[in-house]
């Protein structure tokens, strides 16, 4: 009896140690498994090779098919001079797909998965809760406010987001230990990202100011951090708008061409246009700004983070729509909800990256619950972002199927004419006139030109033209017709009138 009684406490102690060990293993591995799952989800949502391209990818893919990599680079060199790395990953995707835009989806998936992992890495020196870091990573990688990020045309924009969070990680490390290599890396990565896409040019300084004021550091490090980040954005802006004109005086870059078409008239005009776009098409973005601002207030008032950090989260969220100032160069950009969602999401990313700073250990569990809500909202928002584009994708697939017999029947200098009585095609995401031929060439493996037009009395979109015999010929022969909700789409084979 005595020996058995003596052994009981030892057995109980061993069991307790075993339970504690298992609990520690779960706590150690659960965040890693969750991050891996997030990376897989991010990749899967972006990797959809069975879908189609939308806009700029069609002519790029067509040119690749005709002249290969070198010819494509030469053709777009002038256009992309103001953002010299803009097409690099798009071309990598075309190489993966053997010239098909489907390969671009693979690159998109890798960028999204890397964004999730590197956001967690960026916040590692600050975060006491891996779940908070994971929540921020989910918001950035799944961009629930920016459905456009699931389109191939925004691959450069999403690549810039990746460089944005990597630069944030270097910036945080500079503020914590002051090693010069972190500051040099911050500058280099920001410049690289801006060479891909300039959409982070306003959000990066906002991030620098917010992070510098939130992290306990010397004022010297804070000032250097802000100055270097502002310098990177300013340098690329000057390069894009001024230096490129000196490099190629007679040429026209993407930025220069769009600014020439119609820039913003002043600050009031800018604010009014942003407000109009948000109220008209972006109420979800407005709600997200309010939600993140409220989160900052709750964190401050509850003591979950230091008061200044919580209120900085609120302030950063409230000014996040001003990150759209990067699109001041063309009024059409400020009416484009995709661009507004992108820039505002970057501002909210800057706000959320302050969340892990100075968290109280006594309140980690409630924060984990909030983090779980953010993760869930991000996943649901990502799925909705993918679903948002499915009707457009179905429209394109249907048109390509209807076009296939017509392009096969056309011979010589004949063309295929799409007469759209429904007012469907020709809009920005429904094959404008200057993309429809390239799309048909790629999808149907046939070089027959395709002309899109409408007849008098039909609904009109901005990317198609009124049918004219000079374009379609006098006696086009009917091939087929099919119905859409707005009306019929007729397909003909015609022979344009010669200029001779």
- Give the list of residues 6+ apart from residue 116 with CB closer than 8 angstroms, or none: 35, 38, 39, 42, 137, 138, 140, 141
Tell me what pLDDT residue 453 has: 94
Q: Give the CA dihedral 206, 210, 215, 221, nearest 10 degrees.
A: 50
Q: Is 498 left (phi over 0), alpha (psi -120 to 50) or beta?
A: beta
- Over 70: is that where the pLDDT of 451 sits? yes
Percent of the chain topping pLDDT 90: 70
- Over 90: is that where the pLDDT of 232 sits? yes
Tell me what pLDDT residue 22 has: 65
Distance CA 165, CA 207 (A): 10
Secondary structure of 334-396 in the HEC alphabet? Answer: HCCHHHHHHHHHHHHHHHHCCCCCCCCHHHHHHHHHHHHHHHHHHHHHHHHHHHHCHHHHHHH
Distance CA 446, CA 408 (A): 8
Q: Which residue has the higher pLDDT, 260 or 187?
A: 187
Tell me what pLDDT residue 234 has: 97
- Over 70: is that where the pLDDT of 5 sits? no
The pairing of strands 487-494 and 415-420 is: antiparallel
Assign 8 a pLDDT band (cuts: 50, 70, 90). Answer: very low
Q: Which residue has the higher pLDDT, 265 or 211?
A: 211
- Over 60: is that where the pLDDT of 7 sits? no
CA-to-CA separations, 390 to 1, 309, 395, 397, in angstroms, rounded: 74, 40, 9, 10
- Over 60: is that where the pLDDT of 6 sits? no
- Over 80: is that where the pLDDT of 225 sits? yes
Distance CA 316, CA 209 (A): 10
Assign 211 a pLDDT band (cuts: 50, 70, 90). Answer: very high
Q: What is the mean pLDDT of residues 291-306?
A: 92
467-483 burial code (b ≥16 CB/10 A, e <16):
beeebbbeebeebeeee
- Over 90: is that where the pLDDT of 463 sits? no
Question: Which secondary structure element, helix H or strand E, spans residue 491, and what is its range?
Answer: strand 487-494
pLDDT for 161-202, tens place per residue? 999 999 999 999 999 999 999 999 999 999 999 999 999 999
- Assign 248 to helix, strand or coil: coil
Lookup result for tokens 């909202």: 377
Tell me what pLDDT residue 368 has: 84
CA-to-CA separations, 321 to 205, 349, 427, in angstroms, rounded: 14, 12, 26
Tell me what pLDDT residue 10 has: 57
Distance CA 314, CA 322 (A): 14
The pairing of strands 450-454 and 465-466 is: parallel
Q: What is the mean pLDDT of residues 375-381?
A: 98
Cβ-based burial of 203 (10 A; exposed 0-12, middle 13-18, buried ≥19)? buried
- Over 60: is that where the pLDDT of 320 sits? yes
- Over 70: is that where the pLDDT of 433 sits? yes
pLDDT for 36-64, tens place per residue? 999 999 999 999 999 888 788 899 999 99
Assign 313 a pLDDT band (cuts: 50, 70, 90). Answer: very high
Q: Is 143 left (phi over 0), alpha (psi -120 to 50) or beta?
A: left
Task: Tell me 464's DSSP state.
Answer: -
For the sheet containing 487-494, what is the strand order? 465-466, 450-454, 415-420, 487-494, 477-484
Question: Which secondary structure element, helix H or strand E, spans residue 301, and what is its range?
Answer: helix 283-302
Q: What is the mean pLDDT of residues 99-119?
A: 95
Question: What average pLDDT is seen over the chain?
Answer: 90
Tell me what pLDDT residue 12 has: 57
Tell me what pLDDT residue 1 has: 47
């Amino acid at each position: 009896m005595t020996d058995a009684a003596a052994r009981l406490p030892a057995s109980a102690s061993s069991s307790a140690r075993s339970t504690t060990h298992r609990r520690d293993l779960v706590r150690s591995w659960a965040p890693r498994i969750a991050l891996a799952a997030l990376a897989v989800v991010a990749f899967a949502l972006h990797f959809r090779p069975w879908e189609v391209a939308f806009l700029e990818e069609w002519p790029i893919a067509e040119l690749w098919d005709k002249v290969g990599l070198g010819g494509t680079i030469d053709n777009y060199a002038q256009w992309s001079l103001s953002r010299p790395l803009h097409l690099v990953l798009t071309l990598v995707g075309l190489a993966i797909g053997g010239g098909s835009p489907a390969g671009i989806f693979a690159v998109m998936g890798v960028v999204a998965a890397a964004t999730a992992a590197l956001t967690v890495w960026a916040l590692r020196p600050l975060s006491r809760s891996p779940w908070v870091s994971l929540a921020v990573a989910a918001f950035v990688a799944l961009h629930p406010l920016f459905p456009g990020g699931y389109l191939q045309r925004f691959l450069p924009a999403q690549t810039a987001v990746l460089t944005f969070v990597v630069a944030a990680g270097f910036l945080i490390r500079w503020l914590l230990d002051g090693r010069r290599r972190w500051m040099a890396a911050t500058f280099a990565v920001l410049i690289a990202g801006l060479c891909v896409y300039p959409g982070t040019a306003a959000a990066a300084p906002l991030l620098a100011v917010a992070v510098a004021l939130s992290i306990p550091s010397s004022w010297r490090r804070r000032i250097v951090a802000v100055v270097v980040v502002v310098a990177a954005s300013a340098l690329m802006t000057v390069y894009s708008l001024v230096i490129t004109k000196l490099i190629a005086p007679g040429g026209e870059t993407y930025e220069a061409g769009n600014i020439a078409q119609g820039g913003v008239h002043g600050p009031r005009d800018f604010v009014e246009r942003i407000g109009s776009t948000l109220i008209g098409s972006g109420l979800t973005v407005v709600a997200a700004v309010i939600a993140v601002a409220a989160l900052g207030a709750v964190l401050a008032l509850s003591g979950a983070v230091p008061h200044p950090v919580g209120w900085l989260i609120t302030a950063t969220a409230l000014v996040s729509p001003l990150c759209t100032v990067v699109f001041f160069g063309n009024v059409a950009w400020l009416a484009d909800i995709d661009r507004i969602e992108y820039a505002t999401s970057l501002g909210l990313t800057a706000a959320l990256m302050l969340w892990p700073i100075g968290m109280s250990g006594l309140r980690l569990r409630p924060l984990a619950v909030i983090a779980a809500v953010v993760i869930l909202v991000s996943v649901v928002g990502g799925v909705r972002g993918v679903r948002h584009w499915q009707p457009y994708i179905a429209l394109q697939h249907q048109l390509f199927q209807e076009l296939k017999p017509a392009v096969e029947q056309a011979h010589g200098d004949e063309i295929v004419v799409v007469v759209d009585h429904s007012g469907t095609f020709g809009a920005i995401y429904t094959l404008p006139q200057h993309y429809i031929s390239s799309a048909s060439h790629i999808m149907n493996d046939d070089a027959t030109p395709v002309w899109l037009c409408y007849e008098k009395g039909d609904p009109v979109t901005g990317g198609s033209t009124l049918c004219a015999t000079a374009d379609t010929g006098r006696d086009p022969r009917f091939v087929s017709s099919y119905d859409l909700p707005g009306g019929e789409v007729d397909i003909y084979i015609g022979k344009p009138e010669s200029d001779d």
